[in-house]
Amino acid sequence: MGRQSRLDRLPTRRAIEGLGEIFRLHAKRPKDRLLICAVGLLLVAGFRLGELLRLPSDGWVAEVHRGRERCGLRFWNRKTQGGTWQWAVRWLSPMGAELARDLLAEIGALTQSARDQSRVLERDPSRVVIPNTEGHGELLAHEVALLFGTNKIGLNQLLHDQRLRLPRRRSPTGKGRENLIPKAAVEAELLARRGALHTFDLGNGRQQLLSDTLLIVHPGFLDDRTEAVMPLLVTVVKQRDIGVFLKSRKKGAYRLSAFERFGIQEPEGEEEGVSNPSVMRSHVARHWLNTVANKAGMSAFQISMWMQRADASQTLLYLHSASDIADLTREGMRDGALAGRRVEDFNALPPEQREDYLATIRSAHKTATGICTADFGVDQCEVNKACELGCLFYLRTPGDPVERANLLAKRARFVFALEQIAAAERDGKQILPRLREINVRWLAAIDRTLALDDSQECGKGRHKEATDAT
């Protein structure tokens, strides 16, 4: 149910875990390393794919703000200030910044050769200079083959099919005489294939050069059909490169996604032996990060500011805070990551009845101190948002730092309220007994919740015992 309802908007949990496995265990070849690092930046910063591919090579930003260091990535944002393009910074959490720093370092190492060559090309835009051939008027066929990312057989095929037009002649000496090809003709052909030396127009009379762009490679570097590259040319990573890495195009083995190549399967179909590889689209990373931020307690307004959206109402399209957060809530109850009366009822049921119970959770939304699973199209809030007072629909994530911080802030307000009530009584003012009672009850409920966090991982322990027993 969760996979089908969120396929086009949120990645499945298995897909996110699978990307982690690919990064840590499976991606060994440089081309796979580069693409998984690029996808990692999508997940960490929530970029649109076009923004990712335009990232500058020097986009890391670190500054001290109110006594604390904050880090982020500079990117070219089109959808702020009424649609004009401008530089912006996507600030990152401490954990996200640490991961992004590692990803950028690995991308830098993988693209260093292309960056060095792009600077060579930019110094003399009218030529593609073949190094170490000064004084040579002709090149051997196998030397030319290397420059075009192939071997002698492949070069002959290109020449035969006229996909490459180069004059050649037989070497007059030597056993098995090899073809000789004019160096000037090779340089002219490379120049014709070189393409632009900039990636996009900055809109201020300047252009971002290849050497200033983060995701650049030699042609052939990302081609699964060959290990050869064209060392004298440079190109950008394209949208289809990321797209094929995440989702198969079903046009041949070289078009298989990383999930298919590395055997990352969804749980559905495993018992029946049906192949069901995970699937992702690049834009769902943005939906996922927005939803995770909302689940962690950020409001729609805060997320709009963080994502630098021109229209804050667009954020609501990314939060999936009804059925999609209900899906995540059901997953959290299965895994024992949540605590509350519903989790206790769920764990008390026989295993064969648990999925039916979870199916009754059709809606959920994030609150500052947890998750409310009430369906307000059917249920009325009988506790008037006093979630901690034993509400059936209230669930928490034990140990979650954001929820705990909000609980402590809430607790401070009730402590202050009781102090004010006491001060008013000392001044001889009459206070409604129920006002004190409500504050005392709520403060006690919050203290019990905080004590549970300190004493045990509520849902996790009970869920593990139930799972072990079955």
- pLDDT confidence bin for 168, thresholds 50/70/90: confident
Q: Would you kindly state where each structural domain of the chain is located, as residue ranges?
A: 2-118+248-287, 126-194, 321-469
- Tokens 């170490």 label which residue? 132
Q: pLDDT per residue over 305-344, tens digit each?
A: 888 776 665 676 676 655 557 777 888 888 888 888 899 9
Q: Alpha-carbon distance 102 to 37, whole Å?
A: 9
Q: Identify the residue with better confidence: 234 or 206.
A: 234
pLDDT of 286 reads 85
Asked if 91 and 305 touch (Cβ cutoff 8 Å), the reply is no
Query: Facing residues of 65 across strands?
Result: 68
Q: pLDDT per residue over 177-233, tens digit each?
A: 678 889 999 999 999 999 899 888 776 678 899 999 999 999 999 987 766 889 999
- Crossing angle of helices 401-426 and 433-455, in 10° steps, is 150
- Tokens 């690995």 label which residue? 106
- Crossing angle of helices 458-469 and 341-348, in 10° steps, is 10
Distances (CA, A) of 95 to 6, 58, 89, 91, 403: 26, 20, 17, 12, 18
- Tokens 């119970």 label which residue? 357
Q: Which of 110-119, 240-249, 270-279, 350-359 has the highest mean pLDDT?
A: 110-119
For 273, the 3-state DSSP assignment is: coil
pLDDT of 317 reads 63
Q: Alpha-carbon distance 74 to 308, whole Å?
A: 12
Task: Please provide the size of the chain in residues.
Answer: 470
Q: Is 0.75 surpassed by the pTM of this model? A: no
